Amino acid sequence: MSNPSHLFSQEKTYIMGIVNRTPDSFSDGGRYTNLDTAVHHALHLVKDGADVLDIGGESTRPGFDTVTAEEEIERVVPLIKRLADETDVPISVDTYKAEVAEEAVKAGAAVLNDVWAGEKSPSTLNVAKRYEVPIILMHNQKEPQYTDVAADVCAYLQSRLDVAREMGIPEEHLIVDPGIGFGKTFEHNITVLQQLEKVVELGVPVLLGTSRKRFIGHILGTDENERMEGTLATVAYGIQKGCHIMRVHDVKEAKRLATVMDILLRKEG
């Protein structure tokens, strides 16, 4: 497995492939609840060019059903163990629960992806520090109320970075995500995307997760399964704005796009 300390340190765009072991995720809910099917899908994403695999055991779609930490562990840990044995591609776990994060890391996960930036379960930050793994801190809030959405998102992320740094999490282990689609209206999402350079200016790698999201469907008038082209437009735009990691369902297409974009923007291959 790649050294997680330097996972996102190179000048290139990383493609994070999504694997949800959930019955209710908005795009692929129910497809990969079977362990063997999930393993097969994840390895297919690796073949397609995924640099990281992001494993989720609880949906974060609007109106999602919460699950216990025990149930989430039952969903993600066996998959992480299998994948850690079968591929060298680093594994991320998409969870805000410290108990899940710790069991996932013990099973072989190399990155924590917390959609509540350590706020719902502050111990998740302790897990990142104790096991010396990177953590992705995402902007999230329940109600879409802002004074200036881009400035407010950046201020929140800065505050969470400050907390993580004060805890002693090293700089090279910090990543942020502006949380497109989380606690934001259509207009908020567009504004944050248009001002992504402000998030990049926080000085740590930026993950962008736009894949198949509702705002793309709003623009195109399409359902979840017909949003690939719109997703790829946002991936290209995010790369041009300086984002580092693209979290997507359609790995092959995003990887090809990113490879060309990196050459055009004179990034290292």
Catalytic annotation present for 247: yes
97: tokens are 């629960």
Residue 256 bears catalytic tag: no
Nearby residues of 159 by Cβ (< 8 Å), 6 or more positions away: none
**How many angstroms separate the CA atoms of 117 and 137, rounded?**
4
CA distance 238 to 223: 22
CA pair distance 256, 155, nearest whole angstrom? 33
Distance of alpha carbon 117 from alpha carbon 234, whole angstroms: 23
The residue from 75, 213, 227, 255 that is catalytic is 213
Produce one character per residue of 171-185: b if its CB has 16 or more CB atoms within 10 Å, e if not: eebbbbbbbbbbbbe
CA dist., res. 124 & res. 115, Å (int): 11
Instruction: Report residue 114: phi and psi, to 5°.
Output: -110, 110
Strand order in the sheet with 111-114: 174-177, 135-138, 111-114, 91-94, 52-56, 14-20, 245-248, 207-208
The secondary structure element, H or E, covering residue 113 is strand 111-114
| Integer Cα distance of 22 and 221 in angstroms | 26
Question: Residue 52, by phi and psi: left (phi above 0), alpha (psi -120 to 50) or beta?
Answer: beta
Catalytic residue among 160, 184, 247, 255: 247
Beta partners for residue 55, in sequence order: 19, 93
Catalytic residues: 213, 247
